[in-house]
Amino acid sequence: MASQKVEYGDIGSTFGIMVELARENGLTIRHYNETGELPRTFELVYRRTPKGEVPIVGNLSVDDVVGNNNVKEGQTLKQIIEKYSS
């Protein structure tokens, strides 16, 4: 039985759902580290925040995003998105 790998950019994936939730709340989940640096990490920022500004939450792993882990002050990523919604 072949396993299906879901790309994190797929809007139907758990990652995609979190990206869409952030977007709906005026926020963006984008790459945190430089291209080519592994593992890829992400940051949560207000939409249109210039690169290099302090993120709401930085250095998020794919697991942090798809697992809705506690990522800041004991809050899950979803709770943080809702707290900082614009």
Helix (H, G, I), strand (E, B) or coil at 62: helix
- pTM metric for this prediction: 0.80
CA distance 2 to 15: 21
Give the pLDDT score at 10.
Answer: 54
Q: How far apart are the first and last CA of the chain?
A: 44
Q: How many CB atoms lie within 10 A of CB 43?
A: 20
Look at residues 32, 27, 52 and name the one whose alpha carbon lies nearest to residue 42.
Answer: 32
Percent of the chain with pLDDT over 90: 56
Render pLDDT for 4-37 as a digit per residue (tens, 0 to 9).
Answer: 444 555 555 788 899 999 999 999 999 988 878 8
Helix (H, G, I), strand (E, B) or coil at 17: helix
Give the pLDDT score at 1.
Answer: 42
Give the pLDDT score at 16.
Answer: 87
